[in-house]
Amino acid sequence: MAKPYQHATSICIVLTILAFLGIVIGIFQSNPLITIIFLFPTVIYEVYRT
């Protein structure tokens, strides 16, 4: 079960925007490593919550 946290929604929204930005930059640069780097904070947060 995910840990309850008061600001979880705001953090998830910011991380989603960051991930989307990384995907767009990665597509325009034709570099999947950029996408992975931008997704890394989302993965860390989700691992922490679960």
pLDDT in tens, 11-25: 999 999 999 999 999
Who's near 15: CB < 8 A, 6+ residues apart? 41, 42, 45
| Pair of tokens at residue 16 | 């989603």
Q: CB of 8 within 8 A of CB of 50?
A: no
In this prediction, residue 48 has a pLDDT band, given cuts at 50, 70 and 90, of confident
- DSSP per residue over 1-50, as a string? -PPP-TTHHHHHHHHHHHHHHHHHHHHHHT-HHHHHHHHHHHHHHHHHH-
Q: Quote the pLDDT of residue 23.
A: 95
Q: What is the pTM of this model?
A: 0.78
Interval 20-47: pLDDT, tens? 999 999 999 999 999 999 999 999 998 9
Residue 1's SS3 state is: coil
